Structures are given as structure tokens and as C-alpha cells.
Amino acid sequence: MTQIDPRAIVSPAAKLGSGVRIGAYAIVGDEVEIGDGCVLDEHAVVKGPARLGRNNHVFSFSVIGGDPQDLTYTGQRVSVEIGDDNEFREYSTVNRGTIKGGGVTRVGSHNLVMTHAHIAHDCQVGDRVILINGAQVAGHIIVEDYATIGAFCLLHPFVRVGRYAYIAAGTVIMKDVPPFSLVVAPREAKCYGLNRVGLERHGFPPERIQPLEQAYRYLLRSKLNTSQAIEKMKGTLAESEDVQTLIRFIESTDRGLTK
């Protein structure tokens, strides 16, 4: 049964699934579709066009579907699409897309977007991603599954963050972050090798981790340049699907690689 606090403002044009709960002073705009079991706490805002899947929780003062912060935006019809089982904590924001970026910002499922984190226009965020407090993801960024972006990180537009990567707090990211990696920035962003602890927490067995460790030795700790390291990976680690993922990511980068 849907429960709407009488002090909330819900557009008659909004579509609400079953079991939706909307708290006092929350706002749901036109062209908003909210799936079954979603919860909007007091003062939460969802603007349209926007579509939320099932069982999402939007905490107080979070804003989903705000206008893109882009000077080329002049009111075009653009949207945001969000999957299932996400949490958007207090003061987090997700902006709609822009025409030049495809018109849609997408956030997958089972993600945790912590307080004051921001997902800008045209971003494509995968599943089970964590954005820790104050993480700022600029426009046109791709964040792949299981990545973790630390507190107060700043990500430059158009970068990619590979799957299972971990970016430590306060890091400024200007280049692509390779999958499975650990990136830290005491002064400038550097890759310190494999995110081994994170992979173990996600259930990677030792026999799956070992070829990735070797791949990162070729990439970061040998005297090989990037092209030579890739050839070495192809010659000695080709049976690892994870290494193949790493190779494809490196070969498709446009902004260069954080090393």
C-alpha cells in the first residue's frame, strides 16, 4: 500500500508503484516514475523526467533528477534512469543528462551513494558501486561495477573507472583508473597495484587473484612500457578472463592511464 504524507507534494502526472512511501515535505515532479517499494524520506526531491526501479531509498535532502550543470543545457528534455535497491544518502545529487551526452544519466542497482556525493550529467554508473561521502563524479564519466570511490575524491569529466577499482580518499582523478586497481594520491594520483583486499572481500579466490597480481607487476613494476606489458600479459596470462578485461580497458583508453 502506497503511503504519502499529506505534507508532501506529488505531481498528479507522477507514476507510483505499490508500497511506495513518501515523507513529509518530499517533492515528486512531473514525468517521474517510482517503482515498487521505494522510500522517499522527509524533504527528498525527485524531478523528472526520471525513472526509479524497485526498492530505492532516497534520504532527506537528496535530489534526484536535477537539471544538468552544463552551460549548453537550455531546457531540453533529458532524463535520469536508476535501477533497483540503491541508497542515496542525505544531500547526495544525481543530475539528468544532456543532449550532447546522449540525454540520459544512468545509475545501476545495489549502489550506495553517501552523503554529499554527486553524480553529474551523462554519467553511466554500474552495479554495487560505492561513492563515499563527498565524492564528486563529473559529467560523462563511466564507473564500472563494484568500484569504490573514496571520500572527497574529484573525478575529471570523461574518465573511466574500471570494475573493482578502489580510489582512496581525497584523490583527484585525471586519467582512466584500470580495473581491479588501488589508486592513492598523497600528492598526485598513482596506481599502487592490485586492490587485493577489495577483491578478497568480494570473494575472489587466490587462484583468480594471482594472474592479476602478475599482470600488475608487468604494468607497474617491470621495465616494460605499457604496450610491452600488454603483450607480455597476452603471451603469459591469456587464460585469465580478468586479465583480458584489464587488457581491453587499457587498449580502449582515450585519456591515458593512471600508473
- C-alpha span between 213 and 225 (Å, rounded): 17
| DSSP bridge pairs for 161 | 143, 177
Phi-psi region of 140 (alpha: psi -120 to 50; beta: other; left: phi over 0): left
User: Whole-prediction pTM value?
Assistant: 0.90
Question: What long-range pairs does 130-137 form, CB within 8 A, spacing at least 24?
Answer: 131/92, 132/169
- A 10 A CB-CB count for 154 gives 17
Catalytic residue among 43, 116, 121, 140: 121
Q: Which domains does the chain have, with CATH numbers?
A: 3-140 (2.160.10.10), 199-251 (1.20.1180.10)
Q: Catalogue the E-assigned strands of 165-206.
A: 166-167, 172-173, 181-184, 190-194
Q: Note if 127 is an active site residue.
A: no
From first to last of its 259 residues, the chain has per-residue pLDDT tens of 899 999 999 999 999 999 999 999 999 999 999 999 999 999 999 999 999 999 999 999 999 999 999 999 999 999 999 999 999 999 999 999 999 999 999 999 999 999 999 999 999 999 999 999 999 999 999 999 999 999 999 999 999 999 999 999 999 999 999 999 999 986 778 888 899 999 999 999 999 999 999 999 999 988 899 999 999 999 999 999 999 999 999 999 988 888 8
Catalytic residue among 65, 108, 139, 198: 139
Going by C-alpha positions, the residue among 47, 1, 4, 48 that lies closest to residue 24 is 4
Catalytic residue among 70, 122, 176, 242: 122
Q: Are strands 190-194 and 181-184 parallel, antiparallel or unpaired?
A: antiparallel
254: its cell numbers: 582515450
Phi-psi region of 128 (alpha: psi -120 to 50; beta: other; left: phi over 0): left
Cβ atoms of 111 and 130 closer than 8 Å: yes
- C-alpha span between 163 and 40 (Å, rounded): 29
- C-alpha span between 212 and 214 (Å, rounded): 5
Going by C-alpha positions, the residue among 57, 66, 75, 53 that lies closest to residue 105 is 66
Q: Note if 156 is an active site residue.
A: no
Q: Note if 139 is an active site residue.
A: yes
